[in-house]
C-alpha cells in the first residue's frame, strides 16, 4: 500500500533550538509540501504572499471560515486520503509541533506488530521524540525535537493574535461539522479518522498535544450534539407527517408519499444511531480521561463543554450520569475549573423547566455551593452567589433560613462585586416582594411601598448587629434598590412625623439607623464611588453617570436645605443623630442658596449649628460642626461672607468663655482647681476650641500662649487633670501647625528663629509627657510627637531652603530610643488578665474595652512605622518590630507586613539587612538562654519560633525571584558570615558558636534562583574545609543548609551522591516523577506505562548532544550573575567556582542522562526569567 509523508520542517533542516524559535517568530509554522494545488505560496523579498497551509489560513482569519471549509470538503470529495492527511497535519500544527508526520496503512501490518508500535518514546539514533498511534485507517507517526517547548504553544500564548487563533480554531471545527452533516459526515471514514486522531493525541504525554486535541474533541462533540438535536427534531417531524399521511389514506392502498416518509424516518434513525456512536466514542475516549487531567486548562475545557451539552440537549445529557462530573469538579483545586462549573450550573438553573430534574444533584451538592461564596478566588465567589440567586428563584425551599442568613452577611464584604451580588440576593429575597407597589400605597399612603421596604431594611441591619457598616450595606444594595434608597422625602417624613397613620412609631434605635441610612445614601449619590475599603480607587464615571450624579446632588440640596434645620432642631440633644445629620451639608450644591434666594434657610441652619455647639462637648459633634462651617465658608460661593460673620461671632463667644475660665483658674491659690464642675466646663471649652482650631485658623485669638502656659504648668507641678491636658496639648499642636503653614516665601529670619525655637520647645514637652503618669496623656503625646517629627522632617516651606534648614528637626539617637522603648512597653507588652466571673453585659463591655485598646495600640504602632518608612528614624529600628511579626500576627500583622514592604521598596539591601539583624538578635538571645554544655536545642519553643519567623519573612518576597534576588542573596551572605563568626582556626574544623544559625537562613534557600544557589554555595565553601568534618550531630546544621542550597541542582547531585548525603537513585526517581507530573500522564494510560519502561542508559545515549548545551547555558548564567551580585563573588571565589564547574563535568553516563532530563522538564530560571506562580490550594 502507498504511504504519504508531510514534511513540516523547512526542507528537512536539523532541529536546532535557535532555528526553531526563529522560524516560529517569523511564521509560527513552516510550510508543507502538498500534492494539492488549492493554495500556492512563495516568498518575495522575505514577505509572505499567500498562506499555504490550512493552519495558516485558519490562524490568520482573513478568509471566511465557510469558504475555507467548503474548499476542504471539495478536496475531500476528490481525494479523501490527501484531504484527511491535510486535516491531520492541521491538528498537529495547531499543537505547536514543528515535526514530521508520516502515515502508513493499517492493513499493511499484523495486529500484534501494530500494538507494539503504539508508543511514545525517544529514537536512539536521531535523538528525536516520536509518537505512534492509530488514526484509522492509518498508523500515524509524529516526530518532534526532544527539547520542544512544552510551555509555549498556540493555545496558551498571550496576545490578541493568539486569542483570535483559538476562536478561529473552535469556529473551524464547528463549521466543518455543520457543512458535513448533510454529506460526508456519515461515510464511516471522516469521523472515524478524526476521532481516532484526537483520541490518540489526547493520551499523549506532551501537554501541547493533549491540550489541543482535547479542545478539538470537546468542540467536535459540541458540534455533533447540535447535529444530533437537529436530527432529532427532523425525525419527530417526519414521524408526525408519516402518522398524518397514514391516517389520511385507506389502509389497503399503497402510497408513494407514505413510502417516502417511511424511508426518510428510517434514514434519520440511522443517522441518529451513527451520531450517538460518535458522541459515545468522543466522550469515553477523551472526556473521561481528560476531565481529571493534571493541567487545569484541560479540565476547565472539559467542564465548560459538558455544561454546554447539558444546556443544548438536556434530554440526552441532563441526568446524574453527566451532572456528577460537574459536581465533582466543584471541589477542584484550581479556581478556573471551579468557575467553569459554576457558569455551567448557572445556565441550567436559570431555566425553570430544567430545575425539576436537578433534585438529586441539588441535594448532593447544595452545601458545597452554599460554601463557595467564601472561596479565595473573587470571581468564583461572585459567580457562586449569582448561582445561589438563581437557585433561590427557581427552586422552592432549596435554601434554608440559616443558609439565607449566612448569605445575607456577604453584603458587608470588602470585595464589591461579591457584595453587589449578595445585595441582589438580599433585595430580591427579603426587601422586594411582588405587589409592593400596588398593595402598600393603599395601606401606607403616599410612601407606603418605600416605608415598608425601609422598615425591612432597618430591621435587617439591627438584627445583623453590625452597626458601623451602614455605608457598606447601602453600597451593596445601590444597584438594585436605588429607587427607594433615593426616596429622601419618605425618609425625612418618617423622622419628622415619627408616627404612621396606623399609630406605629419608630423606636430610638430605628431612628438612629434611619439617619445613618440617609447619610449613607446621600454620600453614595453625591460622590458616586464606593466607601473606603471597598474599591482601590475612585470610580471613573461615564457621561450618563455624571448626569445622574448631578441630578441627585441637586435633588439632595433642594430637599435638605429646607428639611435639615427641622431635623437638627428635633434631635439637637442626641449627639449621635446630630453628628450624622451635620455631615449632610458638605454634599450640597451651595450655589442654590443664592440662586434660589434661600438665605433664610441658611440662617436657620447656622442658628441650629451654633445652638448645637454650645450644647455639646462630644468630639464627633464638634468636629462635624467645624466641618460644616468650613464647607459653608468657601470663598468661591456667594454666601461665604454671611457664614464667616456667623463663624467669627461663634468663636468670639467660645474664646470669651475659655478666657473667663482660664482667668479664674490662674487667680486661684497654687493654680489648682478642685471643683469637678469647673474642670468639666474647662474641658468642654478647650475641646470646642480644639475642634474648631483643627479646621480654622484661630491665630489672631492668641490661643497658643494660653494653652502652652497650661502645659508648662503641668510639667512643673504635675497637678492638672487629664481632661484639661489632652485638649490643651491638641490646641498647642494645631496652633504651631497653623504658624508653620503661614510661613511666606521670604519670611524674616527673626520669625523663623522664633518659630524654630517654639517647635523644639514643643517637642521637648511631648518628650517629657512620654513618661506622664496618665496613660492617655502618654499615648496622646506619642501620637503628636510622631506626626510632628514626620511633618518637620518633610516640610517644604515653599521651596525656601533657608527656612527648611532653620525649621528642620530630625530626632536624635536618645529620642529614637525613647520612641522605640515606648512602642515596646505600650504595644507589645502583654498585660496580665485577671480571671473574673462576669455577667453577659459585663463580658460584652469588657470585650468592647479590649477592642478599643487594640485600636489604640494599632494607631501607636502605625504612627511609629510611618517614621521608619519615611526615614525619620533608622531602618534598623524596624528589627525590634519584626520580632513580634508571628506572635502578634492577628493584631498587628498587616501593619508590620506593610512596613516591611515599604522599606523594601525604599532600599532592598538595607531592608534585607534589617531582617537578618532581627533574626540574629533573636538567635543571640536564644543562645544566651541555653546551657552551653548541652549545646543548642533545636526542638525548643524559641528556636522553633525563630524558624517560623524566618519562613514568614521568606514568604513576603513573593513568587518573583528575579525581583527579590539581591535581597535574598544579601540575607544568605550576612547569615553565613554571622554563622561562622568567632570560629577558631583557619581550617574551619573547629565548631563555630553560631553554626546553628544556618538552619534559620535555610528557610530562604527556596527563594534563590538556581544560579544564585551555586554562588551562595561557593561563598559557603570559603568558610568550611574539605572533607567536611561531619562526625557529630553538631555539624548537622551545615549539612542541612548545604542540602537546601543543592536541592534540585544538577551539577552537585553526583558530588553529594558520592559523599553519601544524597542517593543518585532517589534523584533519578524524583526526576522521573517530575517528568510524569509535568507531562500530565495518567496511571491508566498505555503510553505512560510504555514510556516508564524505557531504560535509563538508552535515554542517556539519545540525549548526549543536549548535555553540552545545558552546561554552556548554566555557565553563561553564572557569569551574568557574578556581574550583578558582586558582593557575593570576590575574585578568589570566582576562580573556585570555575574549578567546581570543571569537577561537575566529570559525571557518569547515567548521571548525564538524569541531569539533562531534569534540565528539560524543569525550568532553569535565569536572570531575565520569572518563576510562574502555580497555586493548587483551594
For the stretch 795-831, pLDDT in tens is 654 545 555 555 666 788 889 999 999 999 999 987 6
pLDDT of residue 716: 87
Grid cell, residue 126, equals 536521531
pLDDT above 90: residue 290: yes
Contact by Cβ (8 Å): 951, 913: no
User: For residue 848, with 0-12 CB atoms within 10 Å meaning exposed, 13-18 middle and 19 or more buried, which class applies?
Assistant: exposed
130-153 in b/e burial notation, b at 16+ Cβ within 10 A? bbbbbbebbbbbbbbbbbbebeeb
pLDDT for 1016-1029, tens place per residue? 988 988 887 665 55
Give just the sign of the alpha carbon dihedral 66, 72, 76, 78. Answer: positive
Q: Which whole number is the average pLDDT over 428-452?
A: 65
Grid cell, residue 337, equals 475549573
pLDDT above 70: residue 125: no
- Closest by Cα among 329, 316, 400 to 361: 329
pLDDT above 90 covers a percentage of the chain that reads: 44
pLDDT for 336-353, tens place per residue? 999 999 999 999 999 999
Contact by Cβ (8 Å): 1074, 1158: yes
Contact by Cβ (8 Å): 41, 51: yes
pLDDT of residue 836: 59
Q: How confident is the model at residue 603 (pLDDT cuts 50, 70, 90)?
A: very high
Name beta bridge partners: 6: 101
Q: Where are the alpha helices (DSSP H) in 126-255?
A: 160-180, 190-202, 207-248
Grid cell, residue 927, equals 543562645
Q: Which whole number is the average pLDDT over 20-49?
A: 38
Cα separation, 548 vs 531, in Å, equals 19
CA distances for 1035 relative to 38, 988, 995, angstroms: 74, 12, 8
Contact by Cβ (8 Å): 121, 1091: yes
Grid cell, residue 894, equals 498587616
Residue with cell 526517581: 1069
pLDDT above 80: residue 445: no
Residue with cell 451635620: 582
- Closest by Cα among 408, 199, 292, 57 to 1083: 292
Helix (H, G, I), strand (E, B), or coil: what is residue 491? helix
> Is the link from the previous residue into 118 a cis peptide, with omega within 30 of 0?
no
pLDDT above 80: residue 1082: no
pLDDT above 50: residue 5: no
Helix (H, G, I), strand (E, B), or coil: what is residue 154? helix
pLDDT above 80: residue 112: no
Grid cell, residue 265, equals 424516518
Contact by Cβ (8 Å): 8, 20: no
Contact by Cβ (8 Å): 309, 221: yes
pLDDT of residue 1030: 53
- Closest by Cα among 319, 320, 224, 238 to 281: 224
User: For residue 1093, with 0-12 CB atoms within 10 Å meaning exposed, 13-18 middle and 19 or more buried, which class applies?
Assistant: exposed
CA distances for 578 relative to 75, 516, 561, 680, 780, angstroms: 83, 11, 16, 22, 27
Q: Look at 11 and 977; give whichever has higher pLDDT.
A: 977
pLDDT above 70: residue 1126: no
Q: How confident is the model at residue 1099 (pLDDT cuts 50, 70, 90)?
A: very low
Q: Write the DSSP symbol of residue 143.
A: E
pLDDT of residue 991: 76
Centre a 10 Å sphere on the Cβ of residue 1079 and count the other Cβ atoms it contains.
Answer: 20
Contact by Cβ (8 Å): 578, 571: yes
CA distance from start to end of the chain? 54
Q: Look at 841 and 1111; give whichever has higher pLDDT.
A: 841
pLDDT of residue 536: 63
Residue with cell 509554522: 29
Cα separation, 788 vs 809, in Å, equals 9
Name beta bridge partners: 134: 139
Q: How confident is the model at residue 407 (pLDDT cuts 50, 70, 90)?
A: very high
Contact by Cβ (8 Å): 432, 453: yes
pLDDT of residue 568: 95
Cα separation, 155 vs 313, in Å, equals 28
pLDDT for 547-593, tens place per residue? 999 999 999 999 999 999 999 999 999 999 999 999 999 999 998 99
pLDDT of residue 466: 74
pLDDT of residue 404: 94
| Mean pLDDT over the full length of the chain | 78
Q: Which whole number is the average pLDDT over 59-66?
A: 79
pLDDT for 127-147, tens place per residue? 566 677 666 667 777 776 655
Name the range with the highest mean pLDDT among 16-25, 760-769, 986-995, 1051-1060: 760-769
pLDDT above 70: residue 841: yes
pLDDT of residue 334: 95
pLDDT of residue 1048: 57
Cα separation, 763 vs 740, in Å, equals 14
Work out whether strand 120-122 and strand 47-48 pair parallel, antiparallel, or are unpaired: unpaired
pLDDT above 80: residue 643: yes
Grid cell, residue 1082, equals 495518567
Lowest mean pLDDT among 53-57, 151-155, 793-797, 1131-1135: 1131-1135
Helix (H, G, I), strand (E, B), or coil: what is residue 490? helix
Q: Look at 1025 and 456; give whichever has higher pLDDT.
A: 456
Helix (H, G, I), strand (E, B), or coil: what is residue 698? coil
The CA angle 319-321-322, to the nearest 5 degrees, is: 75
pLDDT of residue 13: 37
Q: Look at 984 and 1121; give whichever has higher pLDDT.
A: 984
Q: Look at 399 and 677; give whichever has higher pLDDT.
A: 399
pLDDT of residue 529: 86
- Closest by Cα among 929, 828, 954, 813 to 874: 813
Name the range with the highest mean pLDDT among 184-198, 234-248, 891-905, 1029-1043: 891-905
The packing angle between helices 965-979 and 908-929, to 10°, is: 30
pLDDT above 90: residue 1089: no
Cα separation, 787 vs 779, in Å, equals 12
Grid cell, residue 609, equals 449649628
pLDDT of residue 555: 94
Cα separation, 781 vs 788, in Å, equals 10
Task: Indicate the helix (H) or strand (E) that contains 131.
Answer: strand 128-135
pLDDT for 173-190, tens place per residue? 999 999 988 888 888 888
985: left (phi over 0), alpha (psi -120 to 50) or beta: left
pLDDT above 70 covers a percentage of the chain that reads: 73
pLDDT for 904-961, tens place per residue? 999 999 999 999 999 999 999 988 887 665 667 778 888 899 999 999 999 999 888 8
Lowest mean pLDDT among 127-136, 674-683, 875-884, 1047-1056: 1047-1056
pLDDT of residue 59: 82
Name the range with the highest mean pLDDT among 208-217, 754-763, 822-831: 208-217
Lowest mean pLDDT among 191-200, 359-368, 631-640, 1106-1115: 1106-1115
**What pTM did the predictor assign?**
0.75
pLDDT above 70: residue 1170: no
Grid cell, residue 782, equals 506619642
3-state helix, strand, coil in the chain (%, to 5): 70, 5, 25
Q: How confident is the model at residue 250 (pLDDT cuts 50, 70, 90)?
A: low
Amino acid at each position: 500500500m502507498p504511504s504519504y509523508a508531510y514534511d513540516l520542517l523547512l526542507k528537512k533542516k536539523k532541529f536546532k533550538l535557535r532555528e526553531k524559535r526563529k522560524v516560529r517568530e517569523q511564521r509560527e509554522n513552516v510550510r508543507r509540501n502538498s500534492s494539492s494545488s488549492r493554495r500556492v505560496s512563495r516568498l518575495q523579498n522575505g514577505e509572505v504572499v499567500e498562506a499555504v497551509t490550512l493552519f495558516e489560513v485558519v490562524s490568520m482569519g482573513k478568509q471566511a471560515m465557510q469558504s475555507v471549509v467548503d474548499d476542504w470538503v471539495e478536496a475531500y470529495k476528490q481525494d479523501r486520503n490527501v484531504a484527511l492527511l491535510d486535516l491531520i497535519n492541521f491538528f498537529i500544527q495547531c499543537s505547536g509541533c514543528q515535526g514530521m508526520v508520516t502515515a502508513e496503512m493499517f492493513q499493511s501490518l499484523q495486529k500484534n506488530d501494530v500494538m507494539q508500535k503504539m508508543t511514545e518514546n525517544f529514537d536512539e539514533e536521531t535523538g528525536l521524540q516520536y509518537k505512534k498511534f492509530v488514526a484509522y485507517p492509518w498508523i500515524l507517526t509524529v516526530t518532534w525535537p526532544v527539547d520542544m517547548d512544552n510551555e509555549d504553544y498556540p493555545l496558551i500564548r498571550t496576545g490578541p493574535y493568539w486569542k483570535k487563533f483559538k476562536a478561529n480554531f473552535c469556529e473551524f471545527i464547528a463549521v466543518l461539522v455543520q457543512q458535513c452533516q448533510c454529506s460526508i459526515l456519515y461515510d464511516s471514514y471522516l469521523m472515524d479518522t478524526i476521532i481516532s486522531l484526537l483520541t490518540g493525541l489526547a493520551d499523549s504525554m506532551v501537554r501541547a498535544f493533549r491540550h489541543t486535541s482535547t479542545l478539538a474533541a470537546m468542540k467536535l462533540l459540541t458540534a455533533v450534539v447540535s447535529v444530533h438535536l437537529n436530527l432529532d427534531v427532523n425525525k419527530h417531524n417526519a414521524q408526525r407527517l408519516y402518522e398524518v399521511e397514514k391516517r389520511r389514506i385507506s389502509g389497503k392502498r399503497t402510497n408513494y408519499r407514505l413510502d417516502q416518509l417511511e424511508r426518510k424516518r428510517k434514514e434519520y434513525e440511522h443517522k441518529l444511531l451513527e451520531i450517538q456512536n460518535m458522541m459515545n466514542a468522543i466522550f469515553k475516549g477523551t472526556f473521561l480521561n481528560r476531565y481529571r487531567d493534571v493541567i487545569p486548562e484541560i479540565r476547565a475545557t472539559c467542564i465548560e463543554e459538558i455544561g454546554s451539552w447539558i444546556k443544548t440537549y438536556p434530554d440526552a445529557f441532563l441526568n446524574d450520569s453527566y451532572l456528577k462530573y460537574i459536581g465533582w469538579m466543584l471541589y477542584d483545586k484550581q479556581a478556573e475549573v471551579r468557575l467553569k462549573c459554576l457558569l455551567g450550573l448557572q445556565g441550567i438553573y436559570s431555566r425553570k423547566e430544567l430545575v425539576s430534574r436537578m433534585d438529586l444533584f441539588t441535594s448532593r451538592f447544595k452545601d458545597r455551593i452554599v460554601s463557595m461564596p467564601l472561596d479565595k478566588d473573587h470571581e468564583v465567589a461572585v459567580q457562586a452567589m449569582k448561582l445561589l440567586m438563581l437557585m433561590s428563584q427557581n427552586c422552592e425551599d432549596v435554601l434554608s433560613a440559616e443558609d439565607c442568613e449566612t448569605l445575607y452577611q456577604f453584603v458587608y464584604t470588602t470585595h464589591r462585586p461579591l457584595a453587589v451580588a449578595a445585595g441582589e440576593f438580599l433585595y430580591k429575597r427579603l426587601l422586594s416582594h411582588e405587589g409592593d407597589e400596588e398593595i402598600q400605597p393603599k395601606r401606607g399612603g403616599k410612601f407606603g411601598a418605600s416605608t415598608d421596604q425601609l422598615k425591612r431594611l432597618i430591621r435587617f441591619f439591627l438584627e445583623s448587629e453590625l452597626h458601623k457598616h451602614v455605608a457598606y450595606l447601602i453600597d451593596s444594595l445601590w444597584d438594585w434598590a436605588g429607587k427607594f434608597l433615593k426616596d429622601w422625602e419618605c425618609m425625612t417624613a418618617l423622622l419628622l412625623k415619627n408616627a404612621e397613620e396606623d399609630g406605629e412609631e419608630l423606636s430610638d434605635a430605628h431612628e438612629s439607623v434611619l439617619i445613618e441610612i440617609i447619610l449613607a445614601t446621600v454620600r453614595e449619590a453625591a460622590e458616586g464611588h464606593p466607601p473606603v475599603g471597598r474599591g482601590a480607587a475612585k470610580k471613573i464615571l461615564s457621561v450618563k453617570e455624571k448626569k445622574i450624579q448631578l441630578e441627585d446632588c441637586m435633588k439632595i440640596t433642594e430637599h435638605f436645605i429646607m428639611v435639615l434645620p427641622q431635623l437638627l432642631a428635633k434631635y439637637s440633644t442626641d449627639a449621635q443623630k446630630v453628628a450624622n445629620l451635620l455631615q449632610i451639608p458638605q454634599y450640597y450644591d451651595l450655589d442654590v442658596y443664592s440662586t434660589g434666594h434661600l438665605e433664610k434657610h441658611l440662617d436657620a441652619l447656622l442658628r441650629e449649628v451654633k445652638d448645637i455647639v454650645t450644647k455639646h462637648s462630644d468630639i464627633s459633634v464638634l468636629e462635624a460642626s467645624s466641618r460644616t462651617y468650613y464647607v459653608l465658608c468657601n470663598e468661591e460661593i456667594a454666601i461665604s461672607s454671611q457664614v464667616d460673620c456667623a463663624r467669627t461671632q461663634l468663636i468670639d463667644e467660645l474664646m470669651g468663655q475659655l478666657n473667663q475660665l482660664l482667668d479664674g483658674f490662674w487667680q486661684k491659690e497654687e493654680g489648682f482647681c478642685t471643683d469637678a464642675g469647673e474642670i468639666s466646663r474647662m474641658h468642654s471649652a478647650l475641646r470646642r476650641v480644639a475642634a474648631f482650631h483643627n479646621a480654622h485658623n484661630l491665630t489672631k485669638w492668641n490661643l497658643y500662649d494660653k494653652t502652652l502656659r497650661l502645659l508648662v504648668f503641668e510639667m512643673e507641678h504635675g497637678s492638672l487633670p487629664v481632661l484639661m491636658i489632652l485638649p490643651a496639648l491638641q490646641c498647642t499642636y494645631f496652633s504651631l501647625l497653623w504658624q508653620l503653614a503661614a510661613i511666606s516665601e521670604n519670611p524674616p529670619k527673626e520669625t523663623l528663629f522664633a518659630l524654630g525655637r517654639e517647635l523644639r520647645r514643643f517637642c521637648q514637652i511631648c518628650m517629657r509627657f512620654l513618661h506622664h503618669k496618665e496613660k492617655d496623656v502618654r499615648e496622646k503625646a506619642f501620637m503628636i510627637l510622631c506626626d510632628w517629627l514626620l511633618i518637620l522632617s518633610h516640610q517644604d516651606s515653599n521651596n525656601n531652603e533657608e527656612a527648611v534648614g532653620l525649621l528642620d528637626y530630625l530626632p536624635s539617637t536618645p529620642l529614637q530610643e525613647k520612641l522605640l522603648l515606648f512602642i515596646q512597653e505600650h504595644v507589645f507588652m502583654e498585660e496580665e488578665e485577671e480571671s473574673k466571673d462576669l455577667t453577659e453585659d459585663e463580658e460584652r463591655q469588657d470585650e468592647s474595652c479590649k477592642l478599643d485598646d487594640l485600636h489604640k495600640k494599632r494607631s501607636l504602632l502605625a504612627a511609629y512605622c510611618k517614621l521608619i518608612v519615611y526615614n525619620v528614624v533608622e531602618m534598623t529600628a524596624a528589627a525590634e518590630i519584626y520580632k513580634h511579626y508571628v506572635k502578634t500576627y492577628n493584631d498587628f500583622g498587616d501593619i508590620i507586613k506593610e512596613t516591611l514592604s515599604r522599606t523594601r521598596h525604599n532600599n532592598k539591601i538595607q531592608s534585607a539587612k534589617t531582617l537578618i539583624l532581627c533574626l540574629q538578635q533573636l538567635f543571640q538571645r536564644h543562645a544566651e538562654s541555653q546551657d552551653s554544655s548541652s549545646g543548642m536545642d533545636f526542638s525548643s519553643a524559641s528556636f522553633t519560633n525563630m524558624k517560623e519567623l524566618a519562613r514568614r519573612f521568606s514568604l513576603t518576597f513573593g513568587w518573583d525571584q528575579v525581583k527579590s534576588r539581591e535581597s535574598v542573596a544579601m540575607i544568605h551572605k550576612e547569615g553565613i558570615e554571622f554563622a561562622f563568626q568567632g570560629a577558631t582556626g583557619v581550617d574551619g574544623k573547629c565548631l563555630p558558636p553560631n553554626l546553628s544559625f544556618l538552619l534559620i537562613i535555610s528557610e530562604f534557600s527556596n527563594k534563590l534562583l538556581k544560579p544564585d544557589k551555586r554562588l551562595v554555595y561557593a561563598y559557603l565553601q570559603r568558610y568550611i574545609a574539605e572533607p567536611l568534618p561531619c562526625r557529630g550531630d553538631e555539624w548537622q546544621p551545615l549539612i542541612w543548609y548545604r542540602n537546601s542550597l543543592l536541592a534540585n541542582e544538577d551539577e552537585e547531585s553526583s558530588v553529594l551522591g558520592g559523599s553519601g548525603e544524597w542517593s543518585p537513585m532517589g534523584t533519578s526517581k524524583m526526576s522521573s516523577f517530575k517528568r510524569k507530573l509535568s507531562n500530565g500522564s495518567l496511571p491508566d494510560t498505555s503510553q505512560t506505562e510504555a514510556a516508564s519502561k524505557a531504560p535509563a542508559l538508552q535515554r542517556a545515549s539519545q540525549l548526549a548532544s543536549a548535555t553540552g548545551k545545558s552546561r554552556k547555558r548554566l555557565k553563561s548564567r553564572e557569569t551574568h550573575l557574578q556581574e550583578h551580585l558582586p558582593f557575593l563573588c570576590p575574585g578568589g571565589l570566582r576562580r573556585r567556582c570555575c574549578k567546581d564547574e570543571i569537577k561537575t563535568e566529570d559525571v557518569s553516563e547515567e548521571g548525564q542522562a538524569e541531569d539533562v532530563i531534569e534540565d528539560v522538564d524543569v525550568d532553569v530560571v535565569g536572570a531575565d526569567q520569572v518563576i510562574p506562580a502555580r497555586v493548587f490550594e483551594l
